A = this chain, B = another copy of it.
Amino acid sequence: MPRTLTDPTADRAAAFATDAAADGLTVSLIGSCVATLTGRSQRDLAAGVRTLLWKPDDTVVVHGASGRDPDAWASGGPVTVDAADGLTVACDGGHTAGALRVRFDAVHTATAFDAAGADATTVSGTEAALKDRVLDTPDLVEPGFQPLATERDTPAGPIDIYGRDADGTVTAVELKNVRAGPAAASQLQRYVAALRRTLHADATVRGILVAPAVTAKTRRLLADRGLTFSPVSPPGSRDR
């Protein structure tokens, strides 16, 4: 059963928020506030009307006028509420993160509610689905490609798919379900180099990057290193 306060005093809002959090509820505060983050990087939010969410896991997010990401946030520390000079919500995020302090001049709306069930999500269409598709139809990678193992371990990390090409040459396949950048090429290169060291000194090892697309620079990087790009769209994609 959600509770709501309109234009509460700082004292009332502080008690309201503290009680709600103690009951495991999510608290939403809408009002005019300033915020500061002190730590490795300093960040200051000028006065403005924002939404603060204090979640039951003691994550605090402060959302401003635009964008998907919060303007400021903190998690990890205990959350403290103080009504000495306006309503102040504070949370220390630890050494690397820093400490967040949000001070409200005025709280327009304070709402507390039980976010029951609000954490069950089902996801599909991720890299795992792409892997399934490739394992099901290895020819998508390259005609004659034969998968032998997934997540095969090397000193440089696990190879997404390890196998042999039509000629029997050892091949490392790296999967990306998004347009691949230089980091993907470097990653594949590390795996191939590790395989060459692991296997016999004169062993030939190929590397294939499987992704819906690559950037131009990445395509050059791959070519320079004798690596191959194979375009494969993820299962649910509209551009089959």
Contact = CB atoms under 8 A, between A and B. Distances in A.
Interface of A: 2, 4, 6, 26, 28, 30, 39-51, 53, 55-57, 59, 61, 63-68, 70-71, 73, 75, 95-96, 108-109, 111, 113-126, 129, 156-157, 177-178, 182-183, 186-187, 189-190, 221, 234, 236-238
Given A4-B108, A40-B236, A48-B117, 15 more contacts: A41-B129, A42-B122, A44-B122, A45-B118, A49-B118, A51-B51, A56-B66, A57-B66, A64-B121, A68-B73, A71-B119, A183-B186, A186-B186, A186-B187, A186-B189
A53 to B, nearest CB: 6
A119 B66 contact: yes
Given A53-B63, A65-B55, A68-B73, A236 B42 contact: yes
A236 B236 CA distance: 46
Copies of this chain held together in the complex: 2
Contacts of A119: 48, 64-66, 71
A61 B238 CA distance: 24
Contacts of A109: 2, 4, 28, 109, 111, 113
13 contacts: A2-B30, A26-B51, A45-B120, A46-B117, A49-B117, A56-B66, A59-B67, A61-B63, A64-B121, A95-B238, A157-B182, A183-B183, A183-B186
Contacts of A238: 95
Contact of A50 (B44, B63, B73, B115): B115
